[in-house]
Amino acid sequence: MRSILAAGLLISVMVFSSAGGWLSPASVGPEGAAESALENTDQIDDERSLPTFSDPIDIALKHMLRETSDNVQLQVIIQFEDGLAGKEKHVFLRQHGLQPIHSTRVVPAVFAIGPALAIEELANLEEVKWVEWNSPMEFYMNQTVDTIGARDVWDREILSKDRTTTVEHKIIRGDGVTIVVLDSGIDATHPDLDYNPQSPTNPSKPDSGDKVIYNAKLDQGSGSTTPSFAWIPMQNTDTTSGHGTHVAGTVAGNGDASADDKLGVAPNAWLIGLSMGEAVFTIDEYSALEYVFELSAPGTATQDAWNIRVVTNSWGPGFPFDSADSNDLTVQIIDKLSWDNNVAVIFANGNDGGDGSDDRSNIFAKVPSAIGVAAANRNGVGMSDFSSRGDQSDITTWPDVSAPGVDIWSAAARSTMIGGGTGVGDFGTGNLDYYYLSISGTSMATPHVAGLVALMFQAAPSLRMSNVDEDLSEEGDPSLYDPTGIAPPATAARPIHEAELILKLTADRIVTGENIATSVNSSGVNGRTLDYTQGYGMVNAEKAVAAALALQQLRDTDGDGKIDNFEVDVWDVVNLTDDILFDHPVTRSGDQLKAEWQGEFAVFSSGSDFPPASAHRKEIWVPAGTTRMVADMNYQPLPTNILCPTGANLRLALDKDGDGVYEEDNVNGVELTFQGGLEVGAWWGYDVQGNAAGTCLTPNPSTTGPRSPYDVELNIWLEPGDYTLTRNQSRDWIVTGLDSSEVTFERSWYLHVDAESLVPEDSTGLQGMFDWMQENWWVPLIIALLLLVLFIGFNENTRNSFIEWRQERSREARESEVYEAEILPEVTPISPSQSPLTLVTPKSSGVATEPFSSTAATVELVEVVEADVIIAEEVIEAEVITGDEIEIESEDVVVKAEVEKAEGEAENEEDVVTEAEIIEVESVDEGTEVGDTTDDDEDEELDAFLADFDDDDFD
């Protein structure tokens, strides 16, 4: 399944054994700094991504122990329980009959060798946590960039909020992102994979045109008892397989050897090549992933300079030795790469086919934090027959997404198992080419997705791990569980990367063609359909990049590269992608069209009789009405490079009607005229041909022939009039010249997420107000609370003002509000500064005590228990308990009182006033009013009123 062409006979057998795919025991086949979704990365230890079994021996090792005798030496990797230090582990292993070879760093373990019986006994000791076999790995082996929509991504310009183009990052081509190709190596002498070496000990930010910035080969440990596990830098690390070079060309080749015809998905991304060696085993691939972890660790010099965000892996242990256990050393390092370093890990799903009755998927492709890729046909219609199927009854074994994996054109490494040292060309079309070849496998599908994720990271540097479970949760639901029931809740967490979530939400399901699952499928994230053959379907680069771009714009609202809204997630943009993709005809005035392209002419031999090693045909649409044409090619005919001196003699041949026959042998610098203009538009082919001579003085060059860079500028002139070109026809042209003609062509953009066109049509008027209130619910809530406070405050003030007005203006009492009372004479008013007046009357005696005089007037059924103020003639608040009336007798004092807020309660069938507020008191003592009142007329009114007062009317 996961096979990177191992080397030698083993690889040869694999090449011809699996329906066009590359297989081997551990296959290789073709994610400003972002932040991890979790600040506490220890969560990985608590929420494991795959089921954990109690047996400490992995499935592959069990098989080997059953099939071998007790004394057969096996290589194993041992993890220990906490308690033993590094050296103690080595001593412990020697005591139990094993020889330690190497200790890992990121995930602590020891690589050792020993007899099968000793290994089996060791696994049963309480100090040992997990033992796995050092199993062999296998590698899984231009139209396709169009199939996934990558070329359309390159064509789209990014518009600002005011719908103008931006100066920086005007287009998405992978700029500023580094992809690690973990494979058989990279032939960095290939023109598409230029070698611009840097050292990890002194890294710097690469230039925009650089390609392979670091290329190293592992000093393997599996074939030696004293391995160094060191990484040795060299220009060509892919000397026996060619698998890794093909993968590298697919993920980020710059197309120099094909006049931009055979570009990688992320042609402007930087590459790191790490060769795991010739015959790859578990300890080798783990060591490589561990090295990627160290290079990409946040805060390191290499990560700060190189921005490593993606690692592509087209290899795996191969069916039937895939052990699905979270203790697996590689599973743990994959999780740590994703969670700790925010690196998107892409894996081939494998080349073992199947019919869904069992699980054939690569174990590493099934790790939730990784992205597993199945292989579809070259044109996106139907699935390949060799792509590994998951178990149709277990959704956790299904691939994540699909990409083209059949007859894939990409870079060819010379003198390797794949390249063979001669031009192999495209098996699918029969075309001959000395720098490219076509092969098939999930190895070829995987780098398509890796390149796409690099495009997404350029669009959204803030991509991170999500809280969404792998295929098992609806929108925004972070609930994590294991549907198989194997793993307990504590070990069943399956969160995925935001890049994977976007890929799944934007993929196009393959519904026609061969080898598709027609009856068995399931509902995954956001209710989207997936199945055991294709996962969620063919990746859609345009929509995926649109979603990533919108996500970044919502998080970084001012575009300064710093995150303003951390709470924004993928669910906020998933429904915006169609609106962000903006296609519209554009009309430009001008009678001239100009196109430019570049390449690097290369040959295998310096002899002039040997055919050119690279094909540089560029096809350009020439519209009807063209009157004149001039093509200028620039190159260096004499050597300028001291280390690799090259002399070249190049020409620009022309095929006028696209039939493959070159009517013009050399049009370089020649003006062609067409009287009256061309009658019919057609695709014209311009091909750089010729020869070059030279040699390279650098040590161990893998390119036997010279290389000569060139660039071409083509100009055509049009008859006055109006012209219309389709999107493909106008792809290479820009309009210049005089305003005698108008050219209309289709152009495409990414609208800014805040652009006016994204505002829903119904978000105006009342609906717009309601939508705004839903988004800003806290604003009306605060306003309502303020109004409530103001209302309460205003109401209290109104009440107090009203009371004061009544005190000043009203001297009349209503019939039901008047009490008769006699007040003891010479009562001294109590000022507000004194303690409240309290009249205490024991119910048994009915005698009032101080502060009244010692004459002790009798109070019938009256108890005044609380009073705040009595001044001159006013009692503000008092609680009064009485029967039917209040009456205080004295020799010569009569008081009129107005009582408010009276509550009545029945007690012994009598009406009782339990609470009253006395607002106003007036008293008369033989014509003299107590307090400040001296008006005789008021006294007479009071006497008259009391004479008419009827006690029976009060209740």
- For 287, phi then psi, to 5°, come to -60, -35
With CA atoms as reference, report the closest residue to 272 among 239, 248, 254: 248
As a whole number of angstroms, the distance between CA 441 and CA 412 comes to 15
Q: What is the pLDDT of residue 829?
A: 47
- pLDDT cut 70: percent of the chain above it: 64
**What contacts 749, CB < 8 A, 6 or more positions away?**
156, 157, 158, 159, 582, 583, 584
Residues present in the chain in total? 955
Q: What is the pLDDT of residue 19?
A: 34
Q: Which residue did the predictor score with more confidence, 355 or 419?
A: 355
Q: What is the pLDDT of residue 695?
A: 63
pLDDT band at 876 (very low <50, low <70, confident <90, very high): very low
Cα separations (Å) of 573 from 391, 546, 569, 576, 749? 32, 9, 8, 5, 17
Cα separations (Å) of 58 from 61, 95, 329, 725? 5, 23, 11, 61
With CA atoms as reference, report the closest residue to 313 among 341, 279, 276: 276
What is the DSSP-derived secondary structure letter of residue 461?
Answer: T
Of the given ranges (276-285, 801-810, 813-822), which has the lowest mean pLDDT? 813-822
Q: For the whole model, what pTM was predicted?
A: 0.69
Q: What is the pLDDT of residue 941?
A: 56
| The token pair that represents 254 in the structure block | 């710059």
Give the mean model confidence (pLDDT) for residues 673-696.
85
In single-letter form, the type of residue at position 823 comes to I
Residue 224 pLDDT greater than 80, yes or no: no
Give the mean model confidence (pLDDT) for residues 764-792.
73
Q: How far is CA 385 from the centre of its chain?
A: 32
Of the given ranges (59-63, 99-103, 173-177, 792-796), which has the lowest mean pLDDT? 792-796
**What contacts 683, CB < 8 A, 6 or more positions away?**
619, 620, 621, 622, 658
Of the given ranges (274-283, 363-372, 632-641, 752-761), which has the lowest mean pLDDT? 752-761
pLDDT in tens, 146-158: 778 888 888 888 8
Buried b / exposed e over 196-224, threshold 16 CB at 10 Å, is: bebebeebeebeeebbbbbbbbbebbbee
Q: How far is CA 762 from the centre of its chain?
A: 30
As a whole number of angstroms, the distance between CA 408 and CA 427 comes to 9
Q: Give the range with max mean pLDDT: 129-143, 531-545, 862-876, 889-903.
A: 531-545
**How many other C-beta atoms lie within 10 A of the C-beta of residue 811?**
14
Q: What would the DSSP string read from start to end of 228-244?
A: ---EEE-SB--SS--HH
Q: What would the DSSP string read from start to end of 83-112?
A: T--HHHHHHHHHHTT-EEEEE-SSS--EEE
Q: What is the pLDDT of residue 178?
A: 98
With CA atoms as reference, report the closest residue to 351 among 317, 326, 382: 317
Of the given ranges (262-276, 350-364, 839-853), which has the lowest mean pLDDT? 839-853
Q: Is the peptide bond before 399 cis (omega within 30 degrees of 0)?
A: no
- CATH class for the domain made up of 8-42+138-464+497-572: alpha beta
**What is the SS3 assignment for 758?**
helix
Give the mean model confidence (pLDDT) for residues 708-723.
94
As a whole number of angstroms, the distance between CA 770 and CA 474 comes to 27
In single-letter form, the type of residue at position 195 comes to Y
Beta bridge partners of 691: 649
As a whole number of angstroms, the distance between CA 2 and CA 282 comes to 12
Q: At what angle do helices 541-555 and 498-506 cross, to 10 degrees?
A: 130
| The token pair that represents 832 in the structure block | 């507000």
With CA atoms as reference, report the closest residue to 825 among 928, 953, 941, 944: 928
As a whole number of angstroms, the distance between CA 707 and CA 705 comes to 7
Of the given ranges (44-58, 125-139, 586-600, 761-775), which has the lowest mean pLDDT? 44-58
Q: What is the pLDDT of residue 445?
A: 96
The secondary structure of 494-541, three-state, reads CEEEHHHHHHHHHCECCCCCCCCCCCCCEECHHHCEEECCCECCECCH
Residue 872 pLDDT greater than 90, yes or no: no
As a whole number of angstroms, the distance between CA 876 and CA 474 comes to 66
Cα angle, residue 796 at apex, residues 790 and 801 outer, rounded to 5° = 120
Residue 203 pLDDT greater than 90, yes or no: yes
pLDDT in tens, 6-22: 333 233 333 333 333 33
In single-letter form, the type of residue at position 432 comes to L
pLDDT in tens, 601-613: 876 543 434 444 4
pLDDT band at 480 (very low <50, low <70, confident <90, very high): very low
The secondary structure of 134-195, three-state, reads CCECEECCCCHHHHCCHHHHHHCEEECCCCCECCCCCECCCCCCEEEEEECCCECCCHHHCE
**Matching CATH number, 591-750, of 2.60.40.10, 3.40.50.300, 3.30.565.60, 2.60.120.380:** 2.60.120.380
Q: What is the pLDDT of residue 857?
A: 38
Residue 824 pLDDT greater than 50, yes or no: no
Q: Give the range with max mean pLDDT: 342-356, 645-659, 795-809.
A: 342-356
**How many other C-beta atoms lie within 10 A of the C-beta of residue 833?**
6
pLDDT band at 95 (very low <50, low <70, confident <90, very high): very high
With CA atoms as reference, report the closest residue to 258 among 668, 713, 617, 651: 617
With CA atoms as reference, report the closest residue to 180 among 19, 39, 291, 21: 291
As a whole number of angstroms, the distance between CA 151 and CA 542 comes to 9
Q: What is the pLDDT of residue 472?
A: 61
pLDDT in tens, 277-310: 777 888 888 899 999 999 999 999 999 999 999 9
As a whole number of angstroms, the distance between CA 496 and CA 49 comes to 10
Q: What is the pLDDT of residue 851?
A: 40
Residue 826 pLDDT greater than 90, yes or no: no
pLDDT in tens, 514-546: 999 888 888 888 888 999 999 999 999 999 999
646-655, strands of its sheet edge to edge: 617-622, 682-694, 646-655
As a whole number of angstroms, the distance between CA 80 and CA 62 comes to 18
Q: Which residue did the predictor score with more confidence, 421 or 205?
A: 205
Cα separations (Å) of 889 from 202, 822, 856, 857, 947? 107, 4, 10, 6, 16
pLDDT in tens, 732-743: 999 999 999 999
The rounded radius of gyration (Å) of the Cα atoms in the chain is 44
In which residue ranges of the chain is CATH 3.40.50.200 found?
A: 8-42+138-464+497-572
Identify the sign of the CA torsion 112, 184, 351, 327.
positive
Q: What is the pLDDT of residue 630?
A: 97
**How many other C-beta atoms lie within 10 A of the C-beta of residue 849?**
13
Q: Which residue did the predictor score with more confidence, 226 or 721?
A: 721
Q: Is 683 exposed, middle or buried (0-12, 13-18, 19+ CB in 10 A)?
A: middle
Give the mean model confidence (pLDDT) for residues 343-352.
95
As a whole number of angstroms, the distance between CA 174 and CA 825 comes to 102
Residue 554 pLDDT greater than 90, yes or no: yes
Q: What is the mean pLDDT of the chain?
A: 75
Contact 822, 893 (CB under 8 A): yes
Give the mean model confidence (pLDDT) for residues 773-786.
78
As a whole number of angstroms, the distance between CA 704 and CA 97 comes to 51
What is the DSSP-derived secondary structure letter of residue 424?
Answer: -
With CA atoms as reference, report the closest residue to 666 among 645, 648, 687: 687
Buried b / exposed e over 79-110, threshold 16 CB at 10 Å, is: bbeeebeeeebbebbeebebebbbebebbbbb
In which residue ranges of the chain is CATH 2.60.120.380 found?
A: 591-750
Specify the residue for token string 């390609």.
Answer: 211
